[in-house]
């Protein structure tokens, strides 16, 4: 499987391909609106704003698999993110990140950058994957890794 062959659905229901992000450095994040890490939306937006002109994009994928912390539908999620955090980076339809129904993007990311002890499963909301402009999955960040700390990695790569 190639990263750029994966099909996506935007938060407003439109089909999109990962190929639209070819030659971009990406931070792919599974997000939730009712999580202790939800304030990271602010830091993710700040990274997006700071590095957008250098070919960087944050991609947000709502997920309700952890503590049912994303129970709303896509329209409500989009409104929440825009109203509370001024999110302008691309957001997508809700996905599963673990299990037999895991979205192919997350199956791919986890296979390329497993977590601690080689465990592929996503442990919680706001797990982040840094993908280079050539499509290489460079690093996996824990939910507790704040976006501000990722900025140093980005500055060195862009």
Which is the catalytic residue, given 27, 35, 47, 150? 35
- 142: which DSSP letter? -
Q: In this structure, what token pair is assigned to residue 18?
A: 């990962």
- Residue 24 corresponds to which tokens in the numbers above? 């971009």
Hey, how many other C-beta atoms are within 10 angstroms of the C-beta on 156? Answer: 7
81 in active site:
no
User: What is the C-alpha separation between 29 and 86, in angstroms, rounded?
Assistant: 17
Long-range Cβ contacts of 104-108 (<8 Å, 24+ apart): 104/1, 104/6, 104/7, 105/3, 105/6, 105/8, 105/18, 105/28, 105/61, 106/30, 106/61, 108/1, 108/3, 108/6, 108/137
Q: What residues act catalytically?
A: 35
């Amino acid at each position: 499987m190639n990263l750029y062959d994966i099909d996506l659905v935007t938060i407003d229901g439109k089909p999109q391909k990962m190929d639209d992000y070819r030659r971009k450095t990406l931070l792919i994040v599974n997000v939730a609106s009712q999580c202790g890490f939800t304030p990271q939306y602010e830091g993710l937006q700040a990274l997006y704003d700071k590095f957008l002109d250098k070919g960087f994009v944050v991609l947000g994928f709502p997920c309700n698999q952890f503590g049912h912390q994303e129970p709303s539908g896509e329209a409500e999620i989009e409104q929440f993110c825009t109203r509370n955090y001024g999110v302008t980076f691309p957001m997508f339809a809700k996905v599963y990140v673990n299990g037999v129904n895991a979205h192919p993007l997350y199956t791919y990311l986890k296979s390329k950058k497993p977590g601690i002890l080689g465990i592929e499963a996503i442990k919680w909301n706001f797990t982040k994957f840094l993908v280079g402009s050539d499509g290489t999955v460079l690093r996996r960040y824990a939910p507790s890794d704040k976006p501000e700390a990722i900025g140093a990695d980005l500055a060195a790569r862009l």
